Structure 1
């Protein structure tokens, strides 16, 4: 509960700091706020489960673990934002406040015990992201991305809310424990098609948020159009919160009708893997490739949800952390490289922008290589063990055919991830030496070291929750 209170208050404080004449204090202040929220998050470690806000919000070690991933990701993303100094018209206080408020929504999604709390969390997170996506007001791509995201997100939210209504009509409650009691007793004797319809509609709304196919159409355009720093925020924090919410929903309330929903999730997982991996192979833009990459990784996480076996919890937490670290590092390098030259009046975000990166910038090329290897699932990186845990969870349930297809799709992923590595090391380019700010460099080093560390010792997080 502490992060919700702290971030809500500190988000308002950030707005007031924005009134000061000097903007230089803003970035350190926001980093301090996030560090305080992260420290407050673990005050309740091993004290749960605890219920707050009239039993609508649940705090346990799993909630705190996901909160930790969200807050660490936010800290690293803010650290590489550079205070939005590249945009002379930017009002950093507004952007940082929206980011802090969106984290409140993400944390509500992670720990909800009541469907209304889930809805509030989704709306707080989504509205902030709509605004941040269109924050580059003079860029038509950014405006288009924000409009698409808003319109499709509004429809998805309406579908999700209708699903909640049907669940209430079937069970008489929005509380997860009450829904679980209904499903485990009444549902065993008399199937309720109202319950089935409500669950499907609720899942559709949530699957939109995590970019699962066939609800993924917004993702490439929004990722490409949004400012890169907010694309990074969206691709990590929104996805982590979305899968934490889906896991809590299905594992806590709907295990009694597992036979009904598991095949639906399995089909969506396979479709998501195929759309994401095959779609990424045809892209020339690095940001669009990362968008389809994010879709494919949603498919891998859906495999763990499909299984819902004992290793599923560890698999989702570890995979979310590994994916977030690699994605932040990859987009961090893109933000540095894309400024070196322009394409069609915009920073160059194509694969060609990385040509010859290793010649003058070996450190940046190495960080980018580790990130791509991890996303591809190559051994000795955190991404490899993330996929291994996901596949193991499905195998423990006895579902072998889904991991088999996923392994095949992983080989497709190697192609488009290695295109970036090949461009960095084997192609000729004219990238000059790039100056990297010390703290920016620290974040890249931290993301890379953690990716390698968890690749060498994946058991460090095991048993914490």
Structure 2
């Protein structure tokens, strides 16, 4: 709760820094704010507290995923130095919107009442609608914002209607009360309850870009400024998946047989669409967008497994995925800004001109592909292990492994371009000291988690 209050306060304070004549103080100030929030969040470990008449609970689950989201934001912001150098007049607003979206993410992973879940989703969504269209001079950014807003508003209706139907069937928004009501025949067999549950699943599936509700993601990711795309594909997705699992686990566990067929169909379709879609892209940003869709499918596998290993596998995979994805988007931003090209050709010869960037990108691609000795390998290993607890789901693991092989193909297209293609007319990409430090940190963390996953895998 203190983290939410701090983020709200810091976001408002940061707005006033927009009156300064120089933007140079803003980045260090926001990083300092986030470091405070990260530290304060850790003090809540093993000290669960409920707030607002039990509408929110800050327990170890909420603390763990809040830590991932705050860390992800800390790693993303150093790549905003171009906005600082260019004296972007809206920089204070960008940072504040990110802080408000992060605050909403914490609400989503700590809710105990469906009203609080809805508020978290909407605060985050509104922030991202604005950030998606923040590059007002680019038509694609305007298109991304409008498309995201229209589609998001439409599916918000599904989510809200689902919550209302569940309330009508159970008489409560509290997920503990809903869980108790759903145990009886009136809960599981009630048409209103089942319809509400399915509409809620559809609404949240849109937010995490799970197929077939993913159609907005490639265009929105491509049009949104890369810095905010990185936030969208990590913090927003992690908050959505963590909230989704908590909702199903705490509120609808007794209705497992009701939602399982729908969710497994969504999961398989997400894996297929994400991996096959990424394999045919010629634009790296769109490839990473489809890649993000596929990773939503892997995370949903743990939700489907629905056993004691699920929380651990979701947590570790979220951390591994976030670190690798932020590194990939960070390098993409550095390269495309200077080379003005988002195709695979923009990475040609990067291994010769910028060995550090090429190394970090290679480790990132290997982790996302699930190659051994990287965090991504154990992320997939933990997910597959959780699913294999149920022998009837062996086929799902086989499908996921085959599609992971497709992932190796499109991730290594970037590696081949960096090391096996001529540089051409491209010059060395300029990288700031802060960005270099963050990239090295993420690379070390990815390899460290690949060598010693137990460092964090047993936290939940």
- Interval containing the TM-score (normalised by the shorter chain): over 0.9
Instruction: Return the match for 2:422 from 411, 424, 428.
Output: 428
Residue aligning to 1:244: 242
Residue aligning to 2:151: 152
Residue aligning to 2:390: 397
**Aligned residues of 1:263 and 1:306 also touching (Cα < 8 A):** no
**Superposition misfits of 4+ residues, deviation over 6 angstroms:** none
Residue aligning to 1:71: 70
Residue aligning to 1:344: none
Q: Where do residues 53-452 of structure 1 align in structure 2 (5 Å cutoff)?
A: 53-82=52-81, 84-85=83-84, 89-187=88-186, 191-341=189-339, 347-398=340-391, 399-430=393-424, 431-452=426-447
Q: Tell me, in whole angstroms, the C-alpha distance in 2 between the residues paired with 1:161 and 1:454.
A: 39
- How far is the alpha carbon of 1:391 from its aligned partner? 0.8
Identify unmatched segments of 5+ residues in structure 1. 342-346
Relative to the length of structure 1, the TM-score reads 0.97
Identify unmatched segments of 5+ residues in structure 2. none
Q: Tell me, in whole angstroms, the C-alpha distance in 2 between the residues paired with 1:442 and 1:65.
A: 24
Q: Tell me, in whole angstroms, the C-alpha distance in 1 between the residues paired with 2:428 and 2:107.
A: 43
**Aligned residues of 1:59 and 1:111 also touching (Cα < 8 A):** yes
**Aligned residues of 1:63 and 1:111 also touching (Cα < 8 A):** yes
Q: Tell me, in whole angstroms, the C-alpha distance in 1 between the residues paired with 2:225 and 2:439.
A: 19
- How many residues align? The count is 458
Q: Tell me, in whole angstroms, the C-alpha distance in 2 between the residues paired with 1:187 and 1:259.
A: 15
Residue aligning to 2:17: 17
- How far is the alpha carbon of 1:462 from its aligned partner? 3.0
Deviations 1:306-357 (A, max 9, x none): 111111000000001111000000011111111232xxxxx21111000000
Q: Secondary structure in 2 aligned to 1:304?
A: helix
Q: Tell me, in whole angstroms, the C-alpha distance in 2 between the residues paired with 1:88 and 1:204.
A: 41
Q: Tell me, in whole angstroms, the C-alpha distance in 2 between the residues paired with 1:83 and 1:284.
A: 26
Q: Tell me, in whole angstroms, the C-alpha distance in 2 between the residues paired with 1:69 and 1:463.
A: 15
Q: Tell me, in whole angstroms, the C-alpha distance in 2 between the residues paired with 1:90 and 1:204.
A: 38
Residue aligning to 1:27: 27
- How far is the alpha carbon of 1:53 from its aligned partner? 1.6
Q: Answer with 418-427 or 431-440: which moved more.
A: 431-440
Relative to the length of structure 2, the TM-score reads 0.98
Q: Tell me, in whole angstroms, the C-alpha distance in 1 between the residues paired with 2:232 and 2:210.
A: 14
**Aligned residues of 1:26 and 1:83 also touching (Cα < 8 A):** no
**Aligned residues of 1:27 and 1:83 also touching (Cα < 8 A):** no
Q: Secondary structure in 2 aligned to 1:135?
A: coil
**Aligned residues of 1:277 and 1:412 also touching (Cα < 8 A):** yes
1:455 matched to 2:441? The reply is no
Deviations 1:110-164 (A, max 9, x none): 1110000001000100000000000000100000010000000001111000000
Q: Tell me, in whole angstroms, the C-alpha distance in 2 between the residues paired with 1:376 and 1:83.
A: 30
Q: Secondary structure in 2 aligned to 1:137?
A: coil
Q: Secondary structure in 2 aligned to 1:284?
A: coil
